[in-house]
């Protein structure tokens, strides 16, 4: 569907961007669709060998074929289009590198 520039106040993408190999183009499109001070809310699981092992214990599929972008890669791609306002992780007490899930709220630059 096509929407004009600045159509939305908020875009929510929960458990989406880990499935997108090169998120930069999508992030550019999202920024285009947001109003000048619009927001993007993102949630992503950890994507690494430890999570692959955890997923293999609960799912017989190949998670590496589905989870192709890490949170850190996503953050690098989001720079220039978005400023992070706030972030959180699950569990909350875990350091960022050990979190199982990340959430972040961004504002369009």
pTM listed for this prediction? 0.89
Per the listing, tokens 């791609």 go with 77
Does residue 91 belong to any structural domain of this protein? yes
Which domain covers residue 67, as residue numbers?
8-108
d(Cα 108, Cα 84) in Å, to the nearest integer? 9
Does residue 59 belong to any structural domain of this protein? yes
- Return the CATH number at 86: 3.40.50.150
**pLDDT tens by residue, 8-33:** 999 999 999 999 999 999 999 999 99
d(Cα 98, Cα 96) in Å, to the nearest integer? 5
Does residue 1 belong to any structural domain of this protein? no
DSSP 56-100: HHH--S-HHHH----HHHHHHHHTTTEEEEEEEEESTTS-GGG-S
Does residue 63 belong to any structural domain of this protein? yes
Does residue 67 belong to any structural domain of this protein? yes
Does residue 3 belong to any structural domain of this protein? no
Structure-block tokens of residue 10:
């908020």
Q: What's the total number of domains in the chain?
A: 1
For residue 17, give the DSSP letter: G
**pLDDT tens by residue, 41-70:** 999 999 887 777 777 777 767 777 788 999
């Amino acid at each position: 569907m096509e929407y004009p520039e600045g159509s939305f106040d908020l875009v929510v993408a929960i458990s989406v961007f880990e499935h997108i190999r090169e998120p930069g183009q999508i992030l550019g499109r999202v920024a285009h669709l947001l109003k000048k001070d619009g927001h993007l809310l993102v949630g992503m699981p950890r994507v690494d060998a430890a999570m692959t092992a955890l997923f293999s214990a609960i799912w017989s599929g190949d998670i590496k074929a589905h989870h192709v972008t890490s949170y850190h890669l996503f953050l690098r791609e989001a720079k220039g289009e978005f400023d992070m306002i706030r972030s959180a992780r699950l569990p909350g007490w875990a350091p960022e590198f050990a979190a199982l899930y990340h959430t972040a709220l961004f504002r369009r630059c």
